[in-house]
């Protein structure tokens, strides 16, 4: 994945149409929180999370590609953010602290998961008791995104999360082409 493409991902994530400020507002991050940005991409949300949780917080930029993590690391250094920790996933092994994450965030990642139930079962071990999982992904419909399999059937998402041991705590509908669901374990 080229740096040019990562810049495009960041431009899309930060565009008015994507409503990043509203997403961030609904996540209610606090100073000192720990966040795992799964599928960090170009790092737009990783850096925004890092600013919001402050120096006493921590943001784990999680991805399967080292080149992406190198890019995000460089962006964090340029922004003067010392609380970003790149994490390379290998074989669905998350090198995250046990019971140490306040928010696990996935944007446009869920549709890539081949075994979402077991994936989220593994992630539960990293959430704090009141930790949350936020999933933002494209809605299934008659559009080019769905034609290429880059969308989520919301009913299936809800069922998979329930099977993985989560309950829905909030479903938001302010995004024009994406769904936004928040879950907690239990």
pTM: 0.91
Look up the CATH number of the domain holding residue 58: 3.40.50.150
Q: What residue numbers bound the domain in which 116 lies?
A: 3-185
CA 15 vs. chain centroid, Å, equals: 17
Tens-digit pLDDT profile for residues 60-115: 999 999 999 999 999 999 999 999 999 999 877 789 999 999 999 999 999 889 89
Residue 1 vs residues 69, 120, 138, 186: alpha-carbon distances, Å: 11, 26, 21, 37
User: What does the block give as tokens for 186?
Assistant: 């239990």
| Distance (Å, whole) CA 54 – CA 82 | 9
pLDDT per position as a tens digit, 102-135:
999 999 999 889 899 999 999 999 999 999 999 9
User: Residue 62: phi, psi to the nearest 5?
Assistant: -110, 130
Q: Per-residue pLDDT tens for 18-37?
A: 899 999 999 999 999 999 99
Number of domains into which the chain is organized: 1
Higher-pLDDT residue of 3 and 132 is 132
């Amino acid at each position: 994945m080229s740096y040019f493409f990562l810049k495009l991902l960041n431009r899309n994530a930060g565009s008015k149409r994507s409503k990043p400020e509203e997403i961030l507002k609904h996540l209610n991050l606090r100073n000192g929180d720990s966040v795992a940005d799964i599928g960090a991409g170009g790092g737009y949300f990783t850096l925004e999370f890092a600013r919001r949780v402050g120096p006493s917080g921590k943001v784990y930029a999680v991805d399967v590609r080292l080149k992406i993590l190198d890019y995000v690391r460089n962006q964090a250094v340029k922004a003067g953010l010392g609380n970003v920790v790149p994490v390379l996933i290998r074989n669905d092994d998350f090198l995250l602290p046990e019971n140490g994450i306040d928010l696990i965030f996935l944007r446009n990642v869920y549709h890539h998961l081949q075994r979402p139930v077991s994936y989220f079962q593994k992630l539960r071990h990293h959430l704090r008791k009141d930790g949350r999982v936020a999933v933002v992904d494209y809605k299934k419909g008659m559009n080019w995104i769905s034609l290429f399999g880059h969308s989520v059937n919301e009913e299936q998402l809800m069922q998979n999360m329930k099977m993985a041991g989560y309950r829905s705590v909030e479903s938001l509908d302010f995004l024009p082409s994406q769904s936004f669901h928040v879950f907690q374990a239990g």
